[in-house]
Amino acid sequence: MKQRKSLADRVYHSLFSRISNGDYPANQKLPPENTLSQEFGVSRPVLRTALERLREEGLVYSRQGAGNYVRAPQSTPVGFARVETLADIQRCYEFRLNLETKAAGLAAERHNPAVLAEIEQALDLLRDATGSQQHREDADFDFHLAISKASNNQYFEATLRALRDHVNVGMTLHGQTLMRDGAKSLEEVLGEHAAIFAAIRDRRPDDASRLMQAHLEHSRDRLFGGGLIDLSMK
């Protein structure tokens, strides 16, 4: 059962990346299930588990007898202008430092086994990627999103989902920096994620908040090289 779950997660993340990258445009029909099963080397039940997760997250929808389609982006009550400058990326980190530090502390207090398993699954994907000398922005975002869910406050999760594109810009650039720096940096970031997970799992809210803050600050500083932009209003 665990292997099936792991395979379904792998297929989910692959399809998620294709949809996010525009390989499967909005309203386009996905390839038939038997085609995708053969491509990913998994059974139909495994594929359907991955597709069900995509449907739950509103990324695809089914038409009876016609297959699965990519859902067009839906409007959301929380809106943010596009990231266009390095200053915008810095502002996003600034906002996340307030948002996610608090969410991590609450997650340590309030999590249940199901959502803790979601955080751990994302961490496992990050661990596998690190072992392959890679950085996976999708798994990184899922790790942070699962923590926001574990806070049991839907506003944290809704806000982070609305910020997905903005956060991914910073994560992608940060990942490129890590890849240039090599295995040691990748291992260091994995260690930061693992420490956050352990604090949440062990119900240590102060440590979870402190470690999340340090992780986000390190990520920001790696990207900006310690030279932050002066955001003072002139």
Distance in angstroms (rounded) separating the CA atoms of residues 28 and 42: 23
- pLDDT value at residue 78: 42
Nearest to 5 by CA among 148, 139, 121: 121
Q: Are 153 and 105 in contact (CB under 8 A)?
A: no
**What pTM did the predictor assign?**
0.67
- pLDDT value at residue 218: 92
Place of tokens 């998994």: 42
62 bridge partner residues: 68
- pLDDT value at residue 88: 85
Distance in angstroms (rounded) separating the CA atoms of residues 202 and 145: 19
Write out the two tokens for 12: 């989910």
- pLDDT value at residue 73: 60
pLDDT in tens, the chain (234 residues): 455 557 888 888 788 877 876 788 888 899 999 999 999 899 999 999 989 988 887 888 888 778 899 887 654 434 455 556 788 888 999 999 999 999 999 999 999 999 999 999 999 999 998 888 888 888 899 999 999 999 999 899 989 988 888 888 888 888 788 877 778 888 999 999 999 999 999 999 999 999 999 999 999 988 887 688 888 887
- Phi–psi pair at 69, nearest 5 degrees: -125, 150
105-139 pLDDT tens trace: 999 999 999 999 999 999 999 999 888 888 888 88
- pLDDT value at residue 164: 87
